[in-house]
Amino acid sequence: MPNPVLKLIFLLVATALASQAPSAPAQSSPDRPLEQLIAEAQVAVPPVFPRTRRAPDLVEVPTLDPTIRLDLRYATRDNFLHTPVYGEAKAFLQRPVAEALARVNRALQRSGYALRILDAYRPWWVTKVFWEATAPVNRDYVADPAKGSVHNRGCAVDLDLIHLANGAPATMPSEYDEMSTRSHAGYTGGDAEARRHRDLLRSAMEAEGFKVLKEEWWHFDHASSPDYAIMNLPFESIRDRSADLARSGQILLVTTPGWNGSQGHLQRFERRAGTLVPVGTPLSVWVGQAGMAWRNDDGAPFPPAPGPMKREGDGRSPAGILTFGDMWGYAPAAPEGVRFPYRMSTELDRCVDDPGHADYGRILRLDSPKAPVTWRSAEHLRLDTDHYRYLVVIHYNDLRPRKAAGSCIFLHVAPPPGRGTAGCTALATEDLLTLLRWMDPAQNPVLVQVPEPLLDAARGAWKLPAEIRPLGR
Protein backbone atom coordinates (compact mmCIF):
# COMPACT_ATOMS: atom_id res chain seq x y z
CA MET A 1 0.00 0.00 0.00
CA PRO A 2 1.44 3.42 -0.89
CA ASN A 3 2.57 5.60 1.96
CA PRO A 4 -0.26 8.18 2.57
CA VAL A 5 2.24 10.90 3.42
CA LEU A 6 4.19 10.35 0.21
CA LYS A 7 0.93 10.28 -1.76
CA LEU A 8 -0.10 13.62 -0.25
CA ILE A 9 3.32 15.17 -1.05
CA PHE A 10 3.05 13.89 -4.63
CA LEU A 11 -0.40 15.46 -5.05
CA LEU A 12 0.79 18.79 -3.64
CA VAL A 13 3.80 18.89 -5.98
CA ALA A 14 1.65 17.94 -8.97
CA THR A 15 -0.83 20.69 -8.14
CA ALA A 16 1.94 23.27 -7.82
CA LEU A 17 3.46 22.24 -11.11
CA ALA A 18 0.08 22.40 -12.81
CA SER A 19 -0.44 25.93 -11.53
CA GLN A 20 2.86 26.98 -13.16
CA ALA A 21 2.11 25.38 -16.53
CA PRO A 22 0.83 27.72 -19.20
CA SER A 23 -2.55 27.26 -20.75
CA ALA A 24 -2.54 25.92 -24.29
CA PRO A 25 -2.28 28.51 -27.01
CA ALA A 26 -5.74 29.53 -28.15
CA GLN A 27 -6.71 29.27 -31.79
CA SER A 28 -8.82 31.57 -33.91
CA SER A 29 -12.18 30.15 -34.94
CA PRO A 30 -13.98 32.41 -37.42
CA ASP A 31 -17.59 31.57 -38.18
CA ARG A 32 -17.08 32.63 -41.82
CA PRO A 33 -14.19 32.05 -44.23
CA LEU A 34 -11.27 34.38 -43.55
CA GLU A 35 -11.36 35.69 -47.12
CA GLN A 36 -14.96 36.78 -46.53
CA LEU A 37 -14.09 38.46 -43.22
CA ILE A 38 -11.29 40.43 -44.91
CA ALA A 39 -13.48 41.48 -47.84
CA GLU A 40 -16.26 42.65 -45.50
CA ALA A 41 -13.87 44.52 -43.20
CA GLN A 42 -12.14 46.37 -46.04
CA VAL A 43 -15.41 48.05 -47.08
CA ALA A 44 -16.83 48.49 -43.57
CA VAL A 45 -17.21 52.04 -42.24
CA PRO A 46 -15.51 52.65 -38.86
CA PRO A 47 -17.62 54.04 -36.00
CA VAL A 48 -17.49 57.76 -35.29
CA PHE A 49 -14.83 58.29 -32.63
CA PRO A 50 -14.27 61.44 -30.51
CA ARG A 51 -12.26 64.25 -32.06
CA THR A 52 -8.58 64.44 -31.16
CA ARG A 53 -6.22 67.37 -30.93
CA ARG A 54 -3.31 66.32 -33.14
CA ALA A 55 -3.15 65.73 -36.89
CA PRO A 56 -1.58 62.40 -37.90
CA ASP A 57 2.09 62.43 -38.85
CA LEU A 58 2.92 58.81 -39.58
CA VAL A 59 6.52 58.06 -40.46
CA GLU A 60 8.19 54.87 -41.59
CA VAL A 61 10.25 53.88 -38.55
CA PRO A 62 13.44 52.74 -40.35
CA THR A 63 13.78 56.21 -41.88
CA LEU A 64 14.52 57.48 -38.36
CA ASP A 65 16.65 54.54 -37.27
CA PRO A 66 17.66 51.95 -39.89
CA THR A 67 19.18 49.73 -37.18
CA ILE A 68 15.69 48.82 -35.93
CA ARG A 69 14.91 45.48 -37.55
CA LEU A 70 11.54 44.56 -39.07
CA ASP A 71 9.69 41.24 -39.03
CA LEU A 72 6.16 42.31 -39.95
CA ARG A 73 4.27 39.10 -39.27
CA TYR A 74 0.94 40.24 -40.71
CA ALA A 75 2.61 40.70 -44.10
CA THR A 76 3.41 36.95 -43.98
CA ARG A 77 1.67 33.72 -43.03
CA ASP A 78 3.58 33.59 -39.74
CA ASN A 79 0.74 34.89 -37.56
CA PHE A 80 -2.27 33.55 -35.73
CA LEU A 81 -4.45 33.82 -38.86
CA HIS A 82 -1.86 31.95 -40.97
CA THR A 83 -2.43 34.34 -43.88
CA PRO A 84 -1.03 37.73 -44.93
CA VAL A 85 -3.31 40.70 -44.21
CA TYR A 86 -0.89 43.51 -45.14
CA GLY A 87 0.09 44.12 -48.74
CA GLU A 88 3.40 45.69 -47.68
CA ALA A 89 5.89 44.84 -44.92
CA LYS A 90 6.20 48.36 -43.52
CA ALA A 91 6.15 49.79 -40.01
CA PHE A 92 4.56 53.22 -39.52
CA LEU A 93 4.19 55.15 -36.24
CA GLN A 94 3.27 58.70 -35.30
CA ARG A 95 6.44 60.78 -35.39
CA PRO A 96 6.77 61.34 -31.59
CA VAL A 97 6.25 57.60 -31.02
CA ALA A 98 8.82 56.65 -33.65
CA GLU A 99 11.32 59.11 -32.19
CA ALA A 100 10.80 57.62 -28.70
CA LEU A 101 11.31 54.13 -30.13
CA ALA A 102 14.57 55.22 -31.72
CA ARG A 103 15.77 56.41 -28.30
CA VAL A 104 14.83 53.02 -26.80
CA ASN A 105 16.84 51.27 -29.50
CA ARG A 106 19.92 53.38 -28.83
CA ALA A 107 19.70 52.66 -25.11
CA LEU A 108 19.37 48.89 -25.68
CA GLN A 109 22.35 48.83 -28.00
CA ARG A 110 24.55 49.76 -25.06
CA SER A 111 23.53 46.41 -23.55
CA GLY A 112 24.15 44.45 -26.75
CA TYR A 113 20.56 44.30 -28.03
CA ALA A 114 18.40 46.00 -30.65
CA LEU A 115 14.67 46.23 -31.29
CA ARG A 116 12.78 44.14 -33.84
CA ILE A 117 9.31 45.40 -34.81
CA LEU A 118 6.62 42.77 -35.30
CA ASP A 119 3.73 45.18 -35.90
CA ALA A 120 3.10 48.94 -35.69
CA TYR A 121 0.34 51.08 -37.25
CA ARG A 122 -2.62 48.87 -38.16
CA PRO A 123 -5.60 50.07 -40.22
CA TRP A 124 -8.95 49.81 -38.42
CA TRP A 125 -10.27 47.21 -40.84
CA VAL A 126 -7.52 44.80 -39.77
CA THR A 127 -8.62 45.18 -36.14
CA LYS A 128 -12.13 44.24 -37.26
CA VAL A 129 -10.78 41.12 -38.97
CA PHE A 130 -8.86 40.06 -35.85
CA TRP A 131 -11.96 40.48 -33.69
CA GLU A 132 -14.25 38.56 -36.03
CA ALA A 133 -11.69 35.78 -36.53
CA THR A 134 -11.11 35.19 -32.80
CA ALA A 135 -13.32 33.04 -30.60
CA PRO A 136 -15.16 35.14 -27.96
CA VAL A 137 -13.38 33.31 -25.13
CA ASN A 138 -10.02 34.59 -26.43
CA ARG A 139 -10.92 38.20 -27.22
CA ASP A 140 -8.88 39.54 -24.32
CA TYR A 141 -6.00 39.17 -26.78
CA VAL A 142 -7.52 41.34 -29.56
CA ALA A 143 -8.99 44.85 -29.65
CA ASP A 144 -12.70 45.55 -30.01
CA PRO A 145 -13.24 47.41 -33.32
CA ALA A 146 -16.13 49.30 -31.74
CA LYS A 147 -13.53 51.01 -29.53
CA GLY A 148 -10.57 50.84 -31.88
CA SER A 149 -7.02 49.84 -31.11
CA VAL A 150 -4.05 51.98 -30.14
CA HIS A 151 -2.44 50.32 -33.16
CA ASN A 152 -5.08 52.14 -35.27
CA ARG A 153 -3.80 55.43 -33.84
CA GLY A 154 -0.21 54.70 -34.85
CA CYS A 155 0.80 54.78 -31.19
CA ALA A 156 1.23 51.08 -30.38
CA VAL A 157 4.06 48.79 -31.38
CA ASP A 158 4.65 45.05 -31.04
CA LEU A 159 8.32 44.09 -30.75
CA ASP A 160 10.99 41.88 -29.30
CA LEU A 161 14.80 41.92 -29.06
CA ILE A 162 17.66 40.68 -31.19
CA HIS A 163 21.30 40.15 -30.20
CA LEU A 164 23.50 42.78 -31.83
CA ALA A 165 26.41 40.35 -32.09
CA ASN A 166 24.73 37.91 -34.48
CA GLY A 167 21.23 39.26 -35.23
CA ALA A 168 19.57 36.26 -33.61
CA PRO A 169 16.26 36.81 -31.78
CA ALA A 170 16.54 36.88 -28.00
CA THR A 171 14.51 34.18 -26.27
CA MET A 172 11.17 35.26 -24.80
CA PRO A 173 8.69 33.48 -22.52
CA SER A 174 6.26 32.83 -25.41
CA GLU A 175 5.88 33.07 -29.13
CA TYR A 176 4.53 36.30 -30.62
CA ASP A 177 0.73 36.25 -30.94
CA GLU A 178 0.50 33.29 -28.58
CA MET A 179 -2.81 33.45 -26.71
CA SER A 180 -1.73 31.88 -23.43
CA THR A 181 -0.60 32.82 -19.92
CA ARG A 182 3.00 32.61 -21.15
CA SER A 183 2.27 35.83 -23.07
CA HIS A 184 1.31 37.79 -19.95
CA ALA A 185 3.69 40.55 -18.92
CA GLY A 186 3.74 39.17 -15.36
CA TYR A 187 4.18 35.48 -16.19
CA THR A 188 6.61 33.92 -13.68
CA GLY A 189 7.18 30.53 -15.27
CA GLY A 190 9.41 29.31 -18.03
CA ASP A 191 13.05 30.11 -18.66
CA ALA A 192 14.75 32.69 -16.46
CA GLU A 193 16.83 34.08 -19.35
CA ALA A 194 13.70 34.56 -21.45
CA ARG A 195 12.05 36.47 -18.59
CA ARG A 196 15.20 38.61 -18.26
CA HIS A 197 14.96 39.59 -21.94
CA ARG A 198 11.28 40.38 -21.55
CA ASP A 199 11.89 42.54 -18.50
CA LEU A 200 14.84 44.34 -20.14
CA LEU A 201 12.59 45.25 -23.08
CA ARG A 202 9.85 46.47 -20.76
CA SER A 203 12.21 48.58 -18.67
CA ALA A 204 13.71 50.28 -21.72
CA MET A 205 10.29 50.98 -23.23
CA GLU A 206 8.81 52.37 -20.01
CA ALA A 207 11.73 54.79 -19.73
CA GLU A 208 10.49 56.48 -22.95
CA GLY A 209 6.79 56.75 -22.14
CA PHE A 210 5.52 53.34 -23.27
CA LYS A 211 3.26 51.05 -21.24
CA VAL A 212 3.08 47.29 -21.69
CA LEU A 213 -0.25 45.51 -22.25
CA LYS A 214 -0.66 43.08 -19.38
CA GLU A 215 -1.82 40.22 -21.63
CA GLU A 216 1.01 40.64 -24.15
CA TRP A 217 4.66 41.20 -23.22
CA TRP A 218 5.37 42.39 -26.81
CA HIS A 219 2.66 45.10 -27.03
CA PHE A 220 3.44 48.67 -25.90
CA ASP A 221 1.21 51.76 -26.02
CA HIS A 222 2.74 55.22 -26.08
CA ALA A 223 1.51 57.92 -23.70
CA SER A 224 0.58 60.21 -26.63
CA SER A 225 -2.09 57.84 -27.98
CA PRO A 226 -5.14 59.86 -26.76
CA ASP A 227 -3.93 62.77 -28.92
CA TYR A 228 -4.39 60.87 -32.19
CA ALA A 229 -7.42 59.60 -34.06
CA ILE A 230 -8.40 56.05 -35.01
CA MET A 231 -7.34 55.68 -38.67
CA ASN A 232 -8.26 53.34 -41.50
CA LEU A 233 -5.61 54.43 -44.02
CA PRO A 234 -4.16 51.57 -46.08
CA PHE A 235 -0.37 51.35 -46.12
CA GLU A 236 -0.19 52.33 -49.76
CA SER A 237 -1.90 55.63 -48.93
CA ILE A 238 0.75 56.64 -46.42
CA ARG A 239 3.13 58.76 -48.37
CA ASP A 240 5.15 61.85 -47.61
CA ARG A 241 3.60 64.26 -50.10
CA SER A 242 6.17 66.95 -49.29
CA ALA A 243 8.33 65.37 -52.02
CA ASP A 244 5.69 66.31 -54.62
CA LEU A 245 5.70 69.88 -53.35
CA ALA A 246 9.49 70.09 -53.20
CA ARG A 247 9.95 69.17 -56.85
CA SER A 248 7.01 71.24 -58.10
CA GLY A 249 7.72 74.56 -59.79
CA GLN A 250 4.02 75.48 -59.92
CA ILE A 251 1.41 75.16 -57.19
CA LEU A 252 -2.33 75.77 -57.61
CA LEU A 253 -4.13 76.56 -54.35
CA VAL A 254 -7.93 76.14 -54.30
CA THR A 255 -9.73 77.27 -51.15
CA THR A 256 -13.42 77.46 -50.25
CA PRO A 257 -15.13 79.02 -47.21
CA GLY A 258 -15.80 75.63 -45.61
CA TRP A 259 -16.52 71.95 -46.23
CA ASN A 260 -19.87 72.56 -47.88
CA GLY A 261 -18.95 75.53 -50.06
CA SER A 262 -18.99 74.90 -53.81
CA GLN A 263 -17.39 78.19 -54.89
CA GLY A 264 -13.96 79.53 -53.99
CA HIS A 265 -10.75 80.96 -55.37
CA LEU A 266 -7.76 79.55 -57.21
CA GLN A 267 -4.33 81.12 -56.65
CA ARG A 268 -1.18 80.39 -58.62
CA PHE A 269 2.34 80.19 -57.23
CA GLU A 270 5.56 79.79 -59.16
CA ARG A 271 9.01 78.83 -57.90
CA ARG A 272 11.63 81.47 -58.66
CA ALA A 273 15.16 81.33 -57.24
CA GLY A 274 14.00 78.79 -54.67
CA THR A 275 11.04 80.86 -53.46
CA LEU A 276 7.35 80.53 -54.33
CA VAL A 277 5.84 83.78 -55.58
CA PRO A 278 2.20 84.52 -56.46
CA VAL A 279 1.31 84.76 -60.15
CA GLY A 280 -1.55 86.81 -61.60
CA THR A 281 -4.83 87.55 -59.86
CA PRO A 282 -6.98 84.96 -58.06
CA LEU A 283 -9.49 83.16 -60.27
CA SER A 284 -13.03 82.15 -59.37
CA VAL A 285 -13.39 78.39 -59.14
CA TRP A 286 -16.16 75.87 -58.53
CA VAL A 287 -15.71 72.53 -56.79
CA GLY A 288 -18.21 69.79 -55.94
CA GLN A 289 -21.79 70.89 -55.48
CA ALA A 290 -21.61 69.45 -51.96
CA GLY A 291 -18.19 71.01 -51.27
CA MET A 292 -15.00 69.10 -50.50
CA ALA A 293 -14.00 65.91 -48.67
CA TRP A 294 -10.61 64.58 -47.67
CA ARG A 295 -8.82 62.65 -50.37
CA ASN A 296 -9.37 58.92 -49.75
CA ASP A 297 -7.34 57.10 -52.40
CA ASP A 298 -3.88 55.67 -52.92
CA GLY A 299 -1.38 58.48 -52.36
CA ALA A 300 -3.63 60.54 -50.10
CA PRO A 301 -1.87 62.82 -47.62
CA PHE A 302 -2.98 62.50 -44.01
CA PRO A 303 -6.21 64.28 -43.15
CA PRO A 304 -4.91 67.02 -40.83
CA ALA A 305 -8.29 67.47 -39.11
CA PRO A 306 -11.66 65.71 -38.88
CA GLY A 307 -13.91 66.03 -41.91
CA PRO A 308 -15.79 64.04 -44.55
CA MET A 309 -13.90 61.46 -46.59
CA LYS A 310 -14.33 61.38 -50.36
CA ARG A 311 -16.73 58.68 -51.61
CA GLU A 312 -18.20 57.80 -54.99
CA GLY A 313 -21.26 59.89 -55.80
CA ASP A 314 -21.00 62.25 -52.84
CA GLY A 315 -20.82 65.39 -54.99
CA ARG A 316 -17.60 66.51 -53.25
CA SER A 317 -14.19 67.35 -54.67
CA PRO A 318 -11.12 65.70 -53.10
CA ALA A 319 -9.27 67.88 -50.60
CA GLY A 320 -5.56 67.16 -50.56
CA ILE A 321 -2.44 67.33 -52.71
CA LEU A 322 -3.05 66.17 -56.27
CA THR A 323 -1.18 65.98 -59.57
CA PHE A 324 -2.28 66.22 -63.19
CA GLY A 325 -2.45 63.89 -66.18
CA ASP A 326 -3.23 64.39 -69.87
CA MET A 327 -5.56 66.91 -71.49
CA TRP A 328 -8.68 66.02 -73.49
CA GLY A 329 -10.88 68.23 -75.63
CA TYR A 330 -13.36 68.50 -78.47
CA ALA A 331 -10.95 70.07 -81.00
CA PRO A 332 -8.36 68.12 -83.03
CA ALA A 333 -5.49 69.91 -81.26
CA ALA A 334 -4.86 71.66 -77.96
CA PRO A 335 -5.43 75.43 -77.78
CA GLU A 336 -2.44 77.52 -78.75
CA GLY A 337 0.08 77.87 -75.93
CA VAL A 338 -1.12 74.80 -73.98
CA ARG A 339 1.70 72.30 -73.31
CA PHE A 340 -0.18 69.31 -71.90
CA PRO A 341 -0.17 66.03 -73.86
CA TYR A 342 -3.47 66.22 -75.72
CA ARG A 343 -6.11 63.78 -76.96
CA MET A 344 -9.26 64.61 -78.89
CA SER A 345 -12.25 63.06 -77.17
CA THR A 346 -14.83 61.12 -79.17
CA GLU A 347 -18.26 59.61 -78.61
CA LEU A 348 -16.48 56.35 -77.78
CA ASP A 349 -14.53 57.63 -74.75
CA ARG A 350 -15.73 56.78 -71.26
CA CYS A 351 -14.48 57.13 -67.70
CA VAL A 352 -15.78 54.17 -65.69
CA ASP A 353 -17.42 55.22 -62.41
CA ASP A 354 -18.88 51.83 -61.46
CA PRO A 355 -17.11 50.95 -58.15
CA GLY A 356 -17.64 47.24 -58.73
CA HIS A 357 -15.95 47.14 -62.14
CA ALA A 358 -12.37 46.08 -62.78
CA ASP A 359 -11.76 49.29 -64.77
CA TYR A 360 -13.18 51.59 -62.10
CA GLY A 361 -11.66 55.07 -62.35
CA ARG A 362 -10.06 54.48 -65.76
CA ILE A 363 -10.65 56.14 -69.14
CA LEU A 364 -11.41 53.66 -71.94
CA ARG A 365 -12.31 53.90 -75.62
CA LEU A 366 -15.06 51.62 -76.98
CA ASP A 367 -14.60 49.76 -80.24
CA SER A 368 -17.90 51.13 -81.57
CA PRO A 369 -20.92 53.10 -80.35
CA LYS A 370 -22.85 49.85 -79.89
CA ALA A 371 -20.04 47.83 -78.32
CA PRO A 372 -21.26 45.81 -75.32
CA VAL A 373 -20.07 47.02 -71.92
CA THR A 374 -19.90 45.28 -68.56
CA TRP A 375 -20.01 48.31 -66.29
CA ARG A 376 -23.17 49.76 -64.78
CA SER A 377 -22.19 53.40 -65.33
CA ALA A 378 -19.52 55.50 -67.00
CA GLU A 379 -18.86 59.19 -67.70
CA HIS A 380 -18.91 60.33 -71.34
CA LEU A 381 -15.92 62.49 -72.27
CA ARG A 382 -17.74 64.02 -75.21
CA LEU A 383 -20.81 65.93 -73.99
CA ASP A 384 -23.53 68.03 -75.56
CA THR A 385 -22.37 70.89 -73.31
CA ASP A 386 -19.03 72.73 -73.10
CA HIS A 387 -18.13 71.28 -69.69
CA TYR A 388 -15.48 68.99 -71.18
CA ARG A 389 -14.43 71.18 -74.11
CA TYR A 390 -11.13 71.59 -72.22
CA LEU A 391 -10.39 68.90 -69.64
CA VAL A 392 -7.25 67.91 -67.75
CA VAL A 393 -7.21 64.70 -65.73
CA ILE A 394 -6.63 65.19 -62.01
CA HIS A 395 -4.90 62.07 -60.70
CA TYR A 396 -7.34 60.85 -58.09
CA ASN A 397 -8.01 57.14 -57.53
CA ASP A 398 -6.98 56.29 -61.09
CA LEU A 399 -3.59 54.60 -60.66
CA ARG A 400 -4.52 51.85 -58.19
CA PRO A 401 -8.25 52.50 -57.69
CA ARG A 402 -9.84 51.89 -54.30
CA LYS A 403 -13.43 50.72 -54.46
CA ALA A 404 -15.99 53.51 -53.98
CA ALA A 405 -13.36 56.15 -53.07
CA GLY A 406 -14.47 58.35 -56.01
CA SER A 407 -13.55 58.50 -59.68
CA CYS A 408 -13.24 60.58 -62.85
CA ILE A 409 -11.98 63.82 -61.30
CA PHE A 410 -11.07 66.52 -63.82
CA LEU A 411 -10.11 70.16 -64.18
CA HIS A 412 -12.66 71.46 -66.71
CA VAL A 413 -14.90 74.26 -67.97
CA ALA A 414 -17.68 75.74 -65.85
CA PRO A 415 -20.13 77.18 -68.40
CA PRO A 416 -22.07 80.22 -67.17
CA PRO A 417 -23.65 80.50 -64.79
CA GLY A 418 -20.88 78.73 -62.84
CA ARG A 419 -22.08 76.29 -60.24
CA GLY A 420 -20.89 73.27 -58.32
CA THR A 421 -19.68 70.15 -60.11
CA ALA A 422 -20.14 66.43 -59.48
CA GLY A 423 -16.72 66.40 -57.76
CA CYS A 424 -14.37 68.08 -60.24
CA THR A 425 -12.73 71.52 -60.20
CA ALA A 426 -14.01 73.98 -62.82
CA LEU A 427 -13.31 77.51 -64.06
CA ALA A 428 -14.91 79.83 -66.60
CA THR A 429 -13.59 79.14 -70.10
CA GLU A 430 -11.22 82.10 -70.40
CA ASP A 431 -9.92 81.64 -66.86
CA LEU A 432 -9.28 77.97 -67.54
CA LEU A 433 -7.38 78.77 -70.74
CA THR A 434 -5.31 81.36 -68.88
CA LEU A 435 -4.48 78.73 -66.28
CA LEU A 436 -3.68 76.00 -68.82
CA ARG A 437 -1.36 78.26 -70.80
CA TRP A 438 0.52 79.07 -67.60
CA MET A 439 0.81 75.45 -66.42
CA ASP A 440 3.90 73.60 -67.59
CA PRO A 441 3.93 69.79 -67.20
CA ALA A 442 7.75 69.96 -67.07
CA GLN A 443 7.37 71.95 -63.83
CA ASN A 444 5.35 69.14 -62.16
CA PRO A 445 2.37 71.35 -61.25
CA VAL A 446 0.56 70.38 -58.06
CA LEU A 447 -3.02 71.13 -56.98
CA VAL A 448 -3.62 71.83 -53.29
CA GLN A 449 -7.33 71.88 -52.41
CA VAL A 450 -8.58 72.52 -48.89
CA PRO A 451 -11.29 74.53 -47.11
CA GLU A 452 -9.65 77.78 -46.04
CA PRO A 453 -10.33 77.31 -42.28
CA LEU A 454 -8.23 74.11 -42.42
CA LEU A 455 -5.31 75.49 -44.40
CA ASP A 456 -3.14 76.09 -41.33
CA ALA A 457 -3.76 72.54 -40.12
CA ALA A 458 -2.88 71.25 -43.58
CA ARG A 459 0.27 73.37 -43.62
CA GLY A 460 1.68 71.56 -40.59
CA ALA A 461 0.59 68.06 -41.59
CA TRP A 462 1.54 68.32 -45.28
CA LYS A 463 4.60 70.57 -44.88
CA LEU A 464 3.15 73.23 -47.16
CA PRO A 465 5.60 76.03 -47.99
CA ALA A 466 5.10 79.16 -45.90
CA GLU A 467 4.44 81.21 -49.05
CA ILE A 468 1.22 79.28 -49.74
CA ARG A 469 -1.30 81.60 -48.10
CA PRO A 470 -4.98 82.37 -48.78
CA LEU A 471 -6.32 85.68 -49.97
CA GLY A 472 -5.60 88.69 -47.77
CA ARG A 473 -3.07 86.92 -45.53
In a domain, 375, yes or no: yes
In a domain, 360, yes or no: yes
Cα 297 to Cα 395: distance, rounded to the nearest angstrom: 10
Cα 362 to Cα 227: distance, rounded to the nearest angstrom: 38
Cα 61 to Cα 261: distance, rounded to the nearest angstrom: 38
pLDDT the model gives residue 20 = 43
Domain's final residue, options 203, 227, 251: 227
Same domain for 244 and 220, yes or no, is no
In a domain, 387, yes or no: yes
Same domain for 374 and 281, yes or no, is yes
Domain's final residue, options 179, 206, 227: 227
In a domain, 473, yes or no: no
Same domain for 258 and 300, yes or no, is yes
Task: Kindly report, residue by residue over 361-381, the tens digit of the pLDDT.
Answer: 999 999 999 999 999 999 999
Same domain for 110 and 43, yes or no, is yes
Phi (first) and psi of residue 449, to 5 degrees:
-120, 130
CATH number, domain containing residue 68: 3.30.1380.10
Computed on alpha carbons and rounded to an integer, the radius of gyration of the chain in Å comes to 28
Same domain for 68 and 153, yes or no, is yes
In a domain, 109, yes or no: yes
Domain's final residue, options 193, 227, 261: 227
Task: Kindly report, residue by residue over 18-53, the tens digit of the pLDDT.
Answer: 444 444 344 445 667 899 999 999 888 888 888 776
Same domain for 77 and 198, yes or no, is yes
In a domain, 19, yes or no: no
In a domain, 278, yes or no: yes
Same domain for 186 and 120, yes or no, is yes
Task: Kindly report, residue by residue over 306-331, the tens digit of the pLDDT.
Answer: 899 999 999 999 999 999 999 999 99
Least confident of 2-16, 34-48, 428-442: 2-16
Beta strands at 291-294 and 316-329: parallel, antiparallel or unpaired: parallel
- Give bridge partners of residue 380 from the DSSP assignment: 350
Confidence of residue 56 (pLDDT cuts 50, 70, 90): confident
| pTM, full prediction | 0.56
Same domain for 207 and 289, yes or no, is no
- Determine the Cα angle at 428 with ends 424 and 431, to 5°: 105
Same domain for 299 and 208, yes or no, is no
How many domains does the chain fold into?
A: 2
Range of the domain at 89: 29-227
Alpha-carbon distances of 308 from 76, 294, 301, 323, 403, rounded to whole Å:
33, 6, 14, 21, 17
pLDDT the model gives residue 243 = 63
Same domain for 41 and 122, yes or no, is yes
Same domain for 443 and 303, yes or no, is yes
pLDDT the model gives residue 7 = 46
